Chains A and B, each alone.
Chain A
Amino acid sequence: MTVRADDRETIAELRAALDAADYTAHAVERLLTADGQRVPRTADALPLQLRLLRPGERLSTLVALFYLGAEVPTGDAGSALAPARLDRLAAAGLLDVARDRTRALVDLVPTEELLVASDRFEGGSFAEDRDEVLGLTPPTRALASLTIRRPVASALDLGTGSGALAILAARHAQRVVGVDLNPRALAFAELNAALNGCVNVEWRRGDWLAAVEGETFDLVVCNPPYLISPDSTFAFRDNRLPGDAFCEQLVRGVPAHLAPGGLAHLLVSWGHRADEDWSAPLRRWVEATGCDAILLRYASEDPLTHAAEWNEALRGDPERFGAALDRWTAYCAELGIERIGWGAVVLRRREGGNWVFALTGSGSRMAPAGHHLERLIAAQDAVGELDGASVLTLADDHRLDRSVRLGGGVGVLERAFLRLDGGLGTRIELDPEMLEVVASLDGRPLGELPPGALPGVRRLFELGFLVRG
C-alpha cells in the first residue's frame, strides 16, 4: 500500500478538517494527559489513551484515527473529517473504510512546525526487508534542531524519508531536492509537502549521492540509516555496508556536493577502539575533504548496551532477545568495534587550511541549536587571531548555576557551572579563580587578565560561552 498525493483537493480538505478540529501538538498532548502527565506513545499505552478520549467528539475521533491507530465508527470519521470525503481519503491510501468501522492507514503527527504523515511503525520483524517510512523520530528532530537555518539558494535532503527535513529546509532555501531510494518514502514526502503547503521541493528517486551527480548545494541535511548492526531489515535504519562504512562513505562523498561556504549536517554512528579518542575515526573521515568540520558526539556505548537498546522490541521474548544480543556483539567483535559513538558531523566547504573541532553534546538534543553551531564555527575561524587587545564578553544566553551553603553572615560557594540556555546545552564547571575571571570580563582586553587564565578563557570562547565584544 502506498499513499497518493495527486488528489490535492482532498488533501487540502483533510488539512482544513484537522485545523478546524484543532489537531495540533498542544491540543493532542492535552487530550492524552493523565494525572497531569502526558501518557507516552508506547505500544502498551493504547488502552489507557483510548479511555482518555471523548467518544464522538471531533478531535478525539481524529486522535483515535491518526495518532493512536484505533478504529472508530465510520459515522464519526465522516463527520470529523468533513468536508473531506471518506471514499476519496481511502482512494488516497489514507483510510480503510468499512461500512461500520474506519481506521487510518497512516499516522498523522502534529508538531509545533509541521504535520507529518508516516507509516504506523509497530516494531520489528527480522524476517523480511521492510520499507516503512518513519515520521519525525527523535534523531530526525535532533538533526532539524541542529541545522543552521539561514537563507540559501539551494538545499539537499539526502534520504528524505517522510520529507520532513526537506520541507523545513524549503522555508529558508529557494529550491530543495529531496532524495530517497524508497519509492514509498517519496510518496509520503509528496503527501507531506501538500499537507504543509510546500511547493519548492523536487522529490527525486535515486541511490544517495548518485542522484545528484555533478550538482552542488548551499545546505545539505542527511539522516541516513546509520545503525551499526548485522541486520539489513529496515530501510530507514539499516544499511548493507559493514560497520560504519556507509557513514564514512557519505561523510567523504558529501563535500563534492557542497558549494563554497556551503554547510552539510549529517547524523552518523561510528565504531572505535576503547583505547582511542572517540573522535579519532571521524577525524580520519573528514581529513582532506576541503571542509572545516564540527564533530558532535551525542552518546557512546559498548556493543552489548547498543545491542540491547536496538533490540528493545524483543525484550518480551528472552530467547530471541538473547540470540540478537549474541549476533550483534559477535558482529562488533569481528569488526574490532569496542565502542559505538552516535552524533553529528557538520561540514563547511572552505578553501585554505581547514580546522576540526570536536565536542560532546550534553543538553537536550531537541532544543534549537543552529545559532550555537554558528557561534562555534565563528569561534574556530577567529580563535587563531585572538591577542592581548581582543575583547571577549559572556554570551547573552549564558547562565551560571551555583550551589551555596549559607550561615554566619556568609555564603560558601560549593560548586559553579556555566551553561548555555538552549543550544547544545554545553555545561562546564568553573573553579573559583575562573569564576572570578569570567565575572571580570566586562570589556577589558585579554591582555589585562592574569596570564594563567588564558587557556581557560580560550576554551570558553571555543565552546560558545564567550563572544567577541
Chain B
Amino acid sequence: MLRAVLAGAGYDSPGIKRALGSDGPFERDDNLPLYLRVLLPRGRLPALIRLFFLGVPVAAEEAAAALAPLSLQRLEALGLIAPREGGIGATVDLTPTDELLLAYDRAERGVEEREHVMGISPATKLLAYLTIRRPVETALDLGSGSGVHSILAAKHARSVVAADVNPRALEFTAFNALLNGFENVECRLGDLFEPVEGERFDLVVCNPPYVVSPESALVYRDSGVPGDAFCEGLVRRMPEFLAEGGLAHVLVSWVHGRDDDWSARPRAWVAGNGCDALLLRFRTHEPLAYAAGSNARLRRRDADEFGRVVDRWTAYYDELGIEAISWGAIVLRRRRGENWVWAHSPSAERLGPASGHVQRLVDAQDRLRALGDDRALLDAALALVPGHRLDQTVVLRGGDEEVEASLLRLLDGLRFQVQVDGPTTRVLSLLDGERTLRDVLEEASALEPGLTPEAALGGIRQLVELGFLE
C-alpha cells in the first residue's frame, strides 16, 4: 500500500529530480535549505519528499493527506514515522533508484553508529552494474545491508538468500523486498557464510566491509581483520558455495608493494580454486590518500580528529608494510577443467549497467582459450558490437586530414576506451561478421601498406578480449 501511495504521488527518481530542480547527486545535509526553497510549499509530492527524502518534519495533517489512504498510526506501528517537533518525522530514508524504492537509515542517525544500514553508495551501484543478470534457480546476497542486491537478484533468481550479521540490516532487507513486491527473498542472520554452510548457489553477490583499516567500529565498513585478510578469506572460501557454472561477484580491496603488479595478490587468492576468474582493478591508492579518502566525512566535520585518524591509519599501514591499496571486483565462475584468469583495469567512474559486457568478457576468454593460438582467430568472422563509437580529432588541411587522436569506445557496460591507429581502423571498418579475419586483413593490407597480419593480430585479439569484437 505504501508503495502504491508513493507511486500515485509521483515519488520516483524523475519526479524527485524535477521537484528539486536538480539531477543530483543530492547532498541532503549541505543543500537542505536550498532544496526546501525549490520545493513547492504545498502538495502531496513535496510533502512526501520533505518527509522521506529530505528528512524534515511535516505537519500531521499534511502528512496524513499525503499518505492517505494509509493511516499515520499504521506507519508509526511499522516504525517508519514518529512524532517529532513540528509534526511527523520519518525514521528512515526512502530513496527511489531507477528500478527500486529503498529504505535505509537516515544519515543523521549517524553513520558512526555500529549497526548503521548504509544507503546506496557508489560501490553499491558498481556491484549492481557488474552482476551478470541471467535467469537462475538460487542466489545468495552475502552481507545484504539494505537488501538492494537481494532485490535485484530476486528479479532473475527463483529464490534468494540474504545473509547479514546485523539484525537491523535484515529488517531493512525484508522490508525493502516487500516494499518492492518481492516474496522470494529469505533473510538469514549470521556471520558471513555461517548461515549457508553446505549450500551451493548459482549466483552470489557480495559487497563486503572491504576497507583496509585498523578500525573495527562500523559493521558496514570495517572487518576487524588485519590488512586484506578478510577479503582473502572471503574469496578463498567462495567456490565452496558455488554450483557448477555458478557465478560470484565480490567487491574487494587488497594491499601490495608500490611497484608490484597489482594483480599478483588476487591471482594468488584464486589460484587452483576450481573457478575461472575476472580480476578487475578500479583504483590503486597511496596509503595517505586512502586513509584521507576513507574518512572524508570526518575531514569536513572535525579537522583535528581527522588528522589523528589519518595518522593512526597510516601508522597501521607502515607497520604491516603496506605501500599501496587497490580496490576492485572479482568475478568467479565455477567450472571443471583447466581454469583461466583475466585481469584488467577499468575506470569505475565511467561504469554503466554491464551485465552483458561482463558476460562478453567471460565468453571471450572461453573462446580465446579454446582457440589456443592467436592465428586460429584468422578463421573467425568478427564484427564490432553495435554499441561502439570511434571518436576522432582531426585537422583539415587543403583537402587532406591529419588525425590527431583516435579513440574507440564502448558506449555501455565498462565503457572501455582503446586508442586505435589508422591501419587498425581500416581493418575494423571492413569487419562485417561474415568474412573471415584472414580475408579482411588481406584486403586491408592492400590499402594500408604499413599493415602486416602478424602485427594486426595482437590488436584484434585485445579488442576481442575487451568485448569490442564478437
Contacts and interface: CB of A to CB of B under 8 A. Distances in A.
Interface of A: 34-35, 44, 46-48, 50-52, 304, 308, 315-316, 318, 321-322, 325-326, 329, 394, 398-411, 414, 438-439, 442-443
B391 A401 contact: yes
Given A35-B285, A406-B384, A406-B429, A398 B299 contact: no
B361 to A, nearest CB: 21
Most central of A318, A406, A409 by chain B CB within 10 Å: A406
Interface string B287-323: 0111011000001100110110011001000000000
Interface string B10-50: 00000000000000000000111110111000000000000
A407 B285 contact: no
Interface of B: 30-34, 36-38, 283, 285-286, 288-290, 292-293, 299-300, 303-304, 306-307, 310-311, 314, 383-384, 388-396, 398-399, 401, 404, 425, 428-432
A308 B34 contact: yes
B292 A322 contact: no
22 contacts: A35-B293, A46-B303, A47-B292, A47-B307, A47-B310, A48-B292, A321-B33, A321-B34, A325-B34, A329-B37, A399-B395, A400-B395, A400-B401, A402-B391, A403-B391, A404-B389, A405-B390, A407-B383, A407-B428, A409-B432, A411-B429, A442-B398
B38 A404 contact: no
Contacts of A403: 389-392
A411 B401 CA distance: 15
Given A47-B299, A47-B310, A400-B396, A407 B389 contact: no
B310 A48 contact: yes
A419 to B, nearest CB: 9
Given A318-B32, A394-B396, A408-B432, 20 more contacts: A35-B290, A44-B303, A48-B289, A50-B307, A51-B288, A51-B307, A51-B310, A52-B288, A304-B34, A308-B31, A321-B34, A325-B34, A400-B394, A400-B395, A401-B391, A401-B392, A404-B390, A405-B389, A406-B429, A411-B429
B425 A406 contact: yes
Given A47-B307, A52-B288, A407 B429 contact: yes
Given A48-B292, A408-B432, A411-B429, A35 B286 contact: yes
Nearest to A399: B393
B419 to A, nearest CB: 15
Contact of B431 (A51, A318, A405, A407): A407
Given A35-B286, A399-B395, A405 B33 contact: no
Most central of A47, A308, A321 by chain B CB within 10 Å: A47
Nearest to B306: A47
A322 B432 contact: no
Given A34-B288, A34-B292, A406-B429, A322 B393 contact: no
B393 A400 contact: yes
A156 to B, nearest CB: 39
Contact of B289 (A34, A406, A438, A442): A34
B303 A438 contact: no
Contacts of B300: 44, 316
B303 A407 contact: no
A325 B37 contact: yes
A439 B393 contact: no
B293 to A, nearest CB: 8
A316 B299 CA distance: 13
Nearest to B38: A304
A401 B401 CA distance: 12
Contacts of A407: 383-384, 428-429, 431-432
Given A34-B292, A51-B288, A401 B395 contact: no
Most central of B38, B289, B293 by chain A CB within 10 Å: B289
Given A47-B303, A51-B310, A407-B429, A35 B390 contact: no
B289 A35 contact: yes
A290 B395 CA distance: 39
Contacts of A46: 303
Contacts of B288: 34, 48, 51-52
Contact of B30 (A47, A304, A315): A315
B395 A398 contact: yes
B444 to A, nearest CB: 10
A429 to B, nearest CB: 14
A173 B401 CA distance: 41
Contact of B392 (A402, A405, A438): A402
Most central of A325, A402, A410 by chain B CB within 10 Å: A402
A409 B426 CA distance: 8
Contacts of A318: 32-33
A37 to B, nearest CB: 8
A253 to B, nearest CB: 36
A48 B33 CA distance: 29
Contacts of A405: 388-390
Contacts of B36: 322
Contacts of B299: 44, 47-48
B310 A404 contact: no
Contact of A439 (B310, B388, B396): B396
A322 B389 contact: no
A316 B389 CA distance: 43
A411 B431 CA distance: 11
A318 B292 CA distance: 26
Contact of A325 (B33, B290, B292, B383): B33
B389 A414 contact: yes
Nearest to A49: B292
Contacts of A51: 288, 307, 310-311, 314
A233 to B, nearest CB: 20
Most central of B34, B384, B432 by chain A CB within 10 Å: B34
B31 A315 contact: yes
A304 B34 CA distance: 8
A320 to B, nearest CB: 9
A438 B390 CA distance: 21
Contacts of A399: 393-395, 404
A414 B388 CA distance: 12
Contacts of A34: 286, 288-289, 292
Contacts of B310: 47-48, 51
A441 to B, nearest CB: 8
B123 to A, nearest CB: 17
Contacts of B307: 47, 50-51
B130 to A, nearest CB: 23
A410 B390 CA distance: 12
A322 B33 contact: yes
A372 to B, nearest CB: 17
Contacts of B388: 405-406
A408 B306 CA distance: 58
B429 A439 contact: no
Contacts of A411: 390, 429
Counting from the closest, the 5 A-B pairs by CB-CB distance are A322-B33, A34-B289, A35-B289, A47-B307, A404-B390
